Amino acid sequence: MSNTQFIETNETVIVTSGSAYIDIDVLACSLALSCLHRLCGRESVACHTGKMNGTIPEYVKVEVNDLFENELPSSGRFKYALVDISNPEYFESFVDHEKIIEIYDHHFGFEKYWKDKLGKFVHIKHVGSCATLIWEKYVKLEKVHQLPESIAKLLYLAIVSNTLNLKAFVTTDRDIEAKIGIEKLGFFKSELITEYYSHIEHQLLNDFKNVLLNDVKTHDWKGEDCFIGQLEMLDSEELIETYFLTGTATKYIQEKYATNEQLWFVVISDINKGYNLIFTEDRKTKRLIERNFSFTFDGNFAKSDRLWMRKEFIRDMS
Ligand SMILES: [Mn+2]
């Protein structure tokens, strides 16, 4: 059946994202969208070269390992679909920008650029999770009952993770509706969420250095690179005592990034408490944050007024 929801193509649709790392949103969106293309009769495969980061539990990493390619297939003719990203600078390097047929994203900054290029095939909406947009596509095409259980679970966890369990300011009605819609498929219970976070926190405490350093974004702040880490959990107390108050986190960041006077901070989200702790030991970064966001540092920590996502910090850094 042909439809006007997708650009028609006989070529294989490669679903991909940024090259830096794969987080739970990228993973869910890319597996779900490639599956949707196949359900609609097109050849499609998810393809990522980056490592799966700390937002994906170990047992999921094992489960999904064979469900996507680690490099572009060696032969074939391809079109590209991008998920959870719209800044062309960070796309996987194998993406031919002239052969992009659709983009799904919820980050800020490139809405007009892509609208002008792709028109109705660009879906950049400021919802909490990109997974919400992919779920909505399943609903629109009436394919929700063909969505495999394992992928439904990933979409669900991506929505939870990207909206800090619907507590983040970026959460929209569309995210809430998507979450309820997936629950209605009846595959799983709400314990999935506490299970997910207990895996994530366990991983974080056991492999702190890698989890921290594998999820750092770079953003220009007043002409300088600023490195921004993010850690999200139900309860941050143990982590803060073990790794932040001891100076361990600072040591890891400085080993990897610091030249003198480097701008850097880490956004620690405590979902149960409903706020973030913003951590840095760099004096200039503290001053910039205090001026820009009106949070006040007490030692190396500033407490936010509500739960902020890193992408909101990035949006508002000026
Ligand atoms: Mn996302």
Tell me, in angstroms, the distance from the centre of ligand 1 to residue 238's CA. 26
Which residues fall within 8 angstroms of residue 172, CB to CB, at 6 or more apart? 126, 127, 128, 132
Give the mean pLDDT of 244-267. 90
Kindly report the length of the chain.
318
CA 117–ligand 1 middle distance (angstroms): 22
What pLDDT, on a 0 to 100 scale, did the predictor assign at position 259?
A: 66
201 is a domain residue = no
| 24 Cα to the center of ligand 1, angstroms | 8
- Is 148 within a domain? yes
Burial class (CB in 10 A: 0-12, 13-18, 19+), 173: exposed
d(CA 29, ligand 1 centre) in Å: 9
How remote is the CA of residue 191 from the centroid of ligand 1, in Å?
Answer: 22
Q: Given pLDDT bands bounded at 50, 70 and 90, which one contains residue 9?
A: confident
* d(CA 130, ligand 1 centre) in Å: 5
Mean pLDDT of the chain: 94
User: pLDDT of 214-243, one tens digit each?
Assistant: 889 999 999 999 999 999 999 999 999 999
Give 174-189 pLDDT, tens digit per residue: 999 999 999 999 998 8
**Same domain flag for 148 and 58:** yes
CA of 84 to the centre of ligand 1 (A): 5
Residue 89, token pair as written in the block: 């600078």
In a domain, 5, yes or no: no
* Structure confidence at residue 10 (pLDDT): 87
Q: How confident is the model at residue 4 (pLDDT cuts 50, 70, 90)?
A: low
Q: How far apart are CA 166 and CA 173, in angstroms?
A: 10
Q: How far is the CA of 50 from the centre of ligand 1 (A)?
A: 15
Judge whether 151 lies within some domain.
Answer: yes
Q: Mark whether 63 and 170 lie in a shared domain.
A: yes
How many angstroms separate the alpha carbon of residue 233 from the centre of ligand 1? 16
Looking at the DSSP bridge assignments, the partners of residue 79 are 13
Band of residue 7 on the pLDDT scale cut at 50, 70, 90: confident
Residues 65, 89, single domain; the answer is yes
How many domains would you assign to the chain?
2
* Same structural domain, 212 and 190: no
User: Which one of 163, 195, 227 terminates a domain?
Assistant: 195
pLDDT of residue 267 exceeding 90 = yes
| Paired residues of 224 in beta bridges | 221
Tell whether 150 and 261 lie within a shared domain. Answer: no
Q: How remote is the CA of residue 26 from the centroid of ligand 1, in Å?
A: 7
d(CA 265, CA 230): 9
Q: How far is the CA of 55 from the centre of ligand 1 (A)?
A: 11
Mean pLDDT across the stretch 281-289? 96
Q: Tell me how far the alpha carbon of residue 57 lies from the centroid of ligand 1, in angstroms.
A: 16
23, 41, 20, 44: which is closest to 32 by C-alpha?
44
DSSP 6: S
pLDDT at residue 290 greater than cutoff 60: yes
Over residues 115-137, the pLDDT tens digits come to 999 999 999 999 999 999 999 99
Q: Give me ligand 1 centre to Cα 260, in Å.
A: 32
Q: What is the pLDDT of residues 301-312, one digit of tens each?
A: 999 999 998 988
- Express each pLDDT in 75-102 by its tens digit: 999 999 999 999 999 999 999 999 999 9
170 Cα to the center of ligand 1, angstroms:
11
- Residue 33 CA, ligand 1 centroid: distance in Å: 14
How much distance in Å is there from the Cα of 246 to the middle of ligand 1? 31
Each residue of 192-208: pLDDT tens digit?
999 999 999 999 999 99
Query: How many angstroms separate the alpha carbon of residue 313 from the centre of ligand 1?
Result: 14
| Ligand 1 centroid distance, CA of 299 (Å) | 31
CA torsion 104-24-127-9 (nearest 10°) is 20
User: How remote is the CA of residue 277 from the centroid of ligand 1, in Å?
Assistant: 21
Distance 256 CA to ligand 1 centre (A): 25
CATH at residue 305? 3.10.310.20
Residue 2 has pLDDT above 60, yes or no: no
Q: Which domain holds residue 191?
A: 12-195
| Residues 68, 150 share a domain | yes
Report if residue 121 sits inside a domain. Answer: yes
Domain assignment of residue 2, yes or no: no
Question: How many Å lie between the centroid of ligand 1 and the Cα of residue 93?
Answer: 20
pTM (2 decimals)? 0.88
d(CA 42, CA 29): 17
Q: Same domain for 191 and 253? A: no
With a pLDDT cut of 90, the percent of the chain lying above it is 87
Looking at 195, 223, 238, the residue that finishes a domain is: 195
> Where is 278: in which H helix or E strand?
strand 275-279
Q: What is the pLDDT of residue 155?
A: 98
287 & 237 share domain: yes
